[in-house]
Amino acid sequence: MLPVRMLLGLIFISILSLQGQTQPAPAPAQGAPTPGQPSLPTTIPPGPPIVRDDLTPEQKEVMKEVDRLRAEKALLDAKIALADAKRTEELVPVNSEVLRLNSERALRMAKASAEASALEDERVSLERQAALEAARSNARLAEKNNKIKELEAEAKQLQLEASNTITRLNNDINRFQKEEEARKIAANAKPQYLKDPLVNGTLVISDRRILLNGAVTDQLAEFVCQRISFYNNQNTDYPIFLVVDSSPGGSVSAGYQIQKAMVASKAPVYVVVKGYAASMTAVIATLAEKSFCYPNSIIMHHQVSNSLKGNMTVLKEQMEFTNIWFERMATPVAKKMGITLQEFVKKMYENDSTGDWQAFGEKAQQLKWIDHVVERMEETAVLDILAPAPPPAVSPARASQESTFGVSTQVDDKGRTVFILPALANPFDAWWIYDPHGLYRAL
């Protein structure tokens, strides 16, 4: 851009040049517009140079007017250029200031953006640290709560064990005291051994007795068979009593071992049912050399049941084998009743829609399930102990550790005490047990 002074000089020179070229306008030619008519355009189209001497006065006037207009236009253009130059010169500091302000504004915005970004990063970092610290605090709190619960549970367990210990010691003390009193009372009494224990409607039971209670398992069968052998080695003249307070039945294999031990015994083995005998235990009672029960004792027979698993072929084989077990064990019962096995099964469902054929003592005697119904039973072997010590309370956490002949007790999710049967050791075994309330659970 040229400096303003130089530009003004050029404009001034142009004006002088135009004024030097200006000539008096020629007289208007004939036919030229009169003063009242519109003037010619100020811009004359290019053409051959005009010789002013050849012009009429009117044309010279027109040319003079054109020159004047051109001079005015040049002057106006120079003034506009001068004004633009002045305005441009005046705007230079303004534009510089605007540029500086824009630069400062952009710099401040960049700084503000950087600071905002840094603050956002710091906020996110602080939030992350706060969340992490909160998670750690919660974890520490949960750990402490769990520790407190463990300590509380341990304290409760110790308290329960202490209570059980105190109860057991108190029971032992009471038992010892009662035993001492019983010994004094029965110092001269002795068990009665009778070859025919049924005396005037009273069954006299000696100390050659074996308890057969609960589920029939391999452990219970081993216990019973050992006791039968023990009493046989003592004496073979007097009977051995299998006393059943209550038994729902159990393992077919274990029951078969007991039944065969009874048959092989040189001393007679009699079964005494005080409460009820079902399933496998009912078979043992029915097939005994002699059996006894109260009028209100209950005997119950039904078909073998089993829990099967495997593919179709395995299920079929298990069904066939279970059926063979039933035929081998139930056929002697049907034979004693004087009917066939098929008639025996048919009568089961005729008497009960579930097939659980149960009968009180008198009816059981008529069906030949029991040989003798008695009103009284005399336990002559109870000489030194009035009553067994009650078992200590069992907490649910330790219930599964307490077992009798392989059957452990547990408390289920409904708060009921259930009995956990041991796994059948014999792969060809089956459960023959009566459990309408679902209290026995097989492994």
Q: Write down all domains in the chain, each with its CATH number in brackets.
A: 4-24+54-112 (no CATH), 198-388 (3.90.226.10)
**Torsion sign over Cα 131, 137, 141, 147:** positive
Of 269, 289, 272, 286, which is closest to residue 357 (Cα–Cα)? 286
pLDDT value of position 300: 94
pLDDT value of position 391: 47
Active site (annotated) includes residue 17: no
Using DSSP's 3-state secondary structure scheme, residue 385 falls into: coil
pLDDT value of position 395: 40
pLDDT value of position 333: 94
Report yes or no: 433 and 305 within 8 Å, Cβ to Cβ: yes
Catalytic residue among 247, 265, 301, 302: 302
CA dist 320 to 205, 315, 327, 371, 428, Å?
Answer: 41, 9, 11, 32, 11
Which residue positions in the chain have pLDDT lower than 50?
1, 21-44, 387, 389-401
Q: Measured between alpha carbons, how far is 217 from 252 in angstroms, rounded to an integer?
A: 9
Catalytic residue among 265, 279, 291, 408: 279
Active site (annotated) includes residue 137: no
